[in-house]
Chains A and B, each alone.
Chain A
Amino acid sequence: QKEVEQNSGPLSVPEGAIASLNCTYSDRGSQSFFWYRQYSGKSPELIMFIYSNGDKEDGRFTAQLNKASQYVSLLIRDSQPSDSATYLCAVNEEGSQGNLIFGKGTKLSVKP
Chain B
Amino acid sequence: DAGVTQSPTHLIKTRGQQVTLRCSPKSGHDTVSWYQQALGQGPQFIFQYYEEEERQRGNFPDRFSGHQFPNYSSELNVNALLLGDSALYLCASSLGVGSGNQPQHFGDGTRLSIL
A contacts with B, residue count (CB < 8 A): 26
Q: Mark B89-106, 1 if CB is under 8 A from A, else 0.
A: 010101001111111111
Closest to B107 in A: A43
Interface size class of B (residues with CB under 8 A): 20 to 34
Which residue on B lies nearest to A30, using beta carbons? B100
In A31-65, which residues have CB < 8 Å from any B CB? 31-32, 34, 36, 42-46, 49, 51
Are A99's CB and B107's CB within 8 A? no
B-contact 0/1 string along A65-83, CB 8 Å cutoff: 0000000000000000000
Does the CB pair A31–B42 fall under 8 Å? no
Taking a contact as CB atoms closer than 8 A, the residue among A43, A45, A88 that contacts B42 in the complex is A88
The interface residues of chain B lying within 8 Å CB-to-CB of A105 are: 42
Q: Contact check, B42 vs A98: say whether CB atoms are below 8 A apart.
A: no
Asked if B108 and A99 make an inter-chain contact with CB atoms under 8 angstroms apart, the answer reads no
Residues of A within 8 A of B102 (CB): 98
Residues in A neighbouring B27, C-beta threshold 8 A: none
Query: Do A98 and B33 touch (CB < 8 A)?
Result: yes
Minimal Cβ-Cβ distance residue in A for B108: A43
B68 contacts the other chain (CB 8 A): no
Q: Which of A77-97 contact B (CB under 8 A)?
A: 88, 90, 92-93, 96-97
Task: Please name the residue on chain B nearest to A42 by beta carbon.
Answer: B108
Complex contact A98–B100 (CB within 8 A): yes
Determine if B106 and A98 form an interchain contact, defined as CB atoms under 8 angstroms apart: no
Residue from B56, B105, B109 in contact with A98 in the complex, judged by beta carbons closer than 8 Å: B56
Residue of A with least CB distance to B101: A32
| A to B CB contacts below 8 Å, 25 in the list | A31-B100, A34-B103, A34-B104, A43-B107, A43-B108, A43-B109, A44-B90, A46-B103, A46-B104, A51-B101, A88-B42, A88-B43, A90-B42, A97-B48, A97-B56, A98-B45, A98-B48, A98-B56, A98-B102, A99-B45, A100-B33, A100-B45, A102-B43, A104-B40, A104-B41
